[in-house]
Structure 1
Amino acid sequence: MAKTKKNIRAKAKTAVGAAKQKTQDVQAKLRKSERQEQLLHKTLTPKKTTTKREKSEAKHKKLIKRFVEMKKERKEENARKNREKAKVIGDLKPLRDALPSLQGIYNLVKTQKKNEEEQAALAVPEKLSTKAKIKKKREEYVKKVQSFEKLIKDKNFKKNPREVIANHMSNKYQTMEEDED
């Protein structure tokens, strides 16, 4: 009987110890989540730790960048002074920079034309119903099938199909380039 009492006591002690361990684990998880919430309120992003070497490399890069900028400014200043020394002309670079280039004007006109075309395309909204979409797709497929049938019946294609395909591709690319211009 004494032995069974010892076993019961031992089992009770282990059960109590396991329960204490579980409560401690739960409390530790709660404390950890509270700390996480507090950290989230303080900083949204985790702080990045940088080593002394990384800091010195960053300073070095910054210093070299400043030297390059100073050297570039000095060169520009010397070039400006040399342009001013020219007896007849003087310094025309600011004037040249102020005037728009022909390429800029060309691009501006080109973009204005594209914008007009885009606005015209946007002015006609295409909201098709599902039946209309199906009908449109069916018509496209029919057109493709008809063009393939024409191609197969073509005598030139039967004689030399590679040449016909090459001509078709070159024509297609030319039209695409003309549309871009």
Structure 2
Amino acid sequence: MAKTKKNIRAKAKGAVGMAKQKAQDVQAQLNKSERQEKLLHKTLTPKKTTTKKEKSALKHKKLLQRFADSRKERKKDQSSQKGEKKNVIGDLKPLRDALPSLSDLYKLVKSKSKDAPEQQSLTEPEEQLSVKQKIKKKRTDMVNRVKSYEKLLKDKDFKQNPRNVIASLVRNKYQTMEQAE
């Protein structure tokens, strides 16, 4: 009996060992087939062979594209900054108060139409000016305008509160026009 138990135990151990071996073989085959599928997948895609010339051309295209993108970004930023500069912040009441009313403008236009013959007599000598004199006069007017703009931009009050300065300039201009009439 002891001999038969030993034989049964030996056969059982052998069967367990064989089962383990078969399980390992099956696992190895699965791993091998997975590896082959991966390798197959890699080898199925055609390998691109690019020359040095093609690579440099591709790099060049990418660089040009980056420049174009940065240029677009810069233009977009500039346009948004221009839009921000054009936007009016706050209320326009000080400027509205500085401007004359419609009735004042209507009176001003009527008075100018009455003074038209006087203005024609004043403008006739200008028409008699030579071309060089006209150019010289335009140039001096332009220089005077530029100087006045530069002076205005350098003004500390204008930098602190430009609306009030512009409003006062408009008021002064209309006051001098009314006094001249």
Same-fold call, TM cutoff 0.5: no
Query: RCO greater where, 1 or 2, for CA within 8 Å and sep 6 or more?
Result: 2
TM-score by length of 2: 0.32
Larger radius of gyration: 2
TM-score by length of 1: 0.32
